[in-house]
Amino acid sequence: MFVRKYHINPETLCYERVRLNRSQRIRFLVGFSMGLILLAILMRFGFERSFPTPRQIIYHKQNIILRSELSCLNAELQVVESQLEELRNRDDRFYRAILSLDPIPSSIRGAGTGGAKPGGILQNLRDPGMVNDVSQRIEKISSKMKIQSNSLDRVYNKAVKNQQLLAAKPSINPISPGDPTWLTSGYGYRNDPFTGRRTAHHGIDLAGNYGLDIHCTGEGTVTVSQVSRNGYGKEVVVDHGFGYTSRYAHLQDIHVEVGQKLKRGEVIGTLGNTGRSTGPHLHYEIRKNDSPVNPMYFYYENLSAGEYTLLASKANLSATPYQPMAMSQK
Ligand SMILES: [Zn+2]
């Protein structure tokens, strides 16, 4: 291992062995020792790499499994993101459009999805790349879900309100199409049948036979059921909510009382000639926020006589049985 070195002595011309002095020996020994240590370290690493310990083998397998599971999770997240996107499209283009709600701007839908770095133990991972990605995607999905959930709550509330409005708004003829009636006076200015002067007529007049059933034209509550002092004779006023009221005047009989809840189609009285009237007819009036509107614009449900009878029979079946009221006749 150690090679002896010789040199020629110029005086004796003989070969002499080269001998190291003390400091050279120390340097040699230190260098030699360090070389040995370095060699030992390299051999250990090389051995471990070539022959991993059982624990390293288990960790390695676990690592492969975890990476595989993360890949599966990423794929599943992609499916969830697609479904969420589909829901967003349906929400904006269908549900909100039908209910006249504006689409939610992308800036709001994307709010809070900047991809914050994960906290906690994930910060301490040596290679957090894949875990970070999954964590950020879950955070984005969670944020979008909250916005979508709030949007669907709003859609639901608007739909319920619309349903209530549709049920309440006056929308049928107060007399069945099966009962013969004719329009004797329309909405607007006309010559007053009593004075001959041109005056505003805030409703429509439907002439017909005495005793025809008069039906409530939308869900509501009776607020007036009286003999009017203003020429309406026996009249009923129904408050439908949402600013709508309807008046049925010149009735022969009244079948409802103040505070009574009514369904669309329920009979509120019969056609008559009471009050300031020149013949048997119904004065039908609709007001929106206390301003008169033309009732002809409120016949949305163009029901046939059969459909009208079915609606009325259903409404009157569920109605409280009529009890004649004690009313003073004026
Ligand atoms: Zn009238």
Q: What is the full DSSP assignment across 45-108?
A: HHHHHHS--HHHHHHHHHHHHHHHHHHHHHHHHHHHHHHHHHHHHHIIIIIHHHTTPPPPPHHH
Q: How far apart are CA 209 and CA 134, in angstroms?
A: 77
Predicted pLDDT at 98 = 86
Beta bridge pairs of residue 209: none
Q: How far apart are CA 206 and CA 175, in angstroms?
A: 9
Q: How far apart are CA 275 and CA 269, in angstroms?
A: 15
Query: pTM of the predicted model, to two decimals?
Result: 0.66
Reported in sequence order, the residue ranges of the chain that DSSP labels E, i.e. its strands, are 6-8, 15-17, 181-185, 188-191, 198-201, 204-208, 213-215, 220-227, 234-241, 244-254, 261-262, 267-271, 281-288, 291-293
Question: How many whole angstroms from 170 Cα to the centroid of ligand 1?
Answer: 17
Q: What are the per-10-residue average pLDDT scores of the chain (330 residues)?
A: 76 81 86 91 82 86 89 90 91 88 85 57 64 84 91 93 93 93 90 84 95 97 95 97 97 97 96 95 97 89 83 78 43
Predicted pLDDT at 160 = 93
Assigned token pair, 139: 């955070």
Strand, coil or helix: 272: strand
Q: CA angle 299-170-316, nearest 5°?
A: 105
Predicted pLDDT at 322 = 52
Question: How many whole angstroms from 291 Cα to the centroid of ligand 1?
Answer: 16
Predicted pLDDT at 330 = 33
Question: How many whole angstroms from 172 Cα to the centroid of ligand 1?
Answer: 18
Question: How many whole angstroms from 302 Cα to the centroid of ligand 1?
Answer: 22
Please state the length of the chain: 330
What CATH number labels 181-317? 2.70.70.10
Closest CA to 281 of 204, 222, 176: 204
Residues 6+ apart with CB under 8 A from 220: 168, 238, 239, 240, 241, 244, 245, 246, 261, 262
Question: How many whole angstroms from 313 Cα to the centroid of ligand 1?
Answer: 27
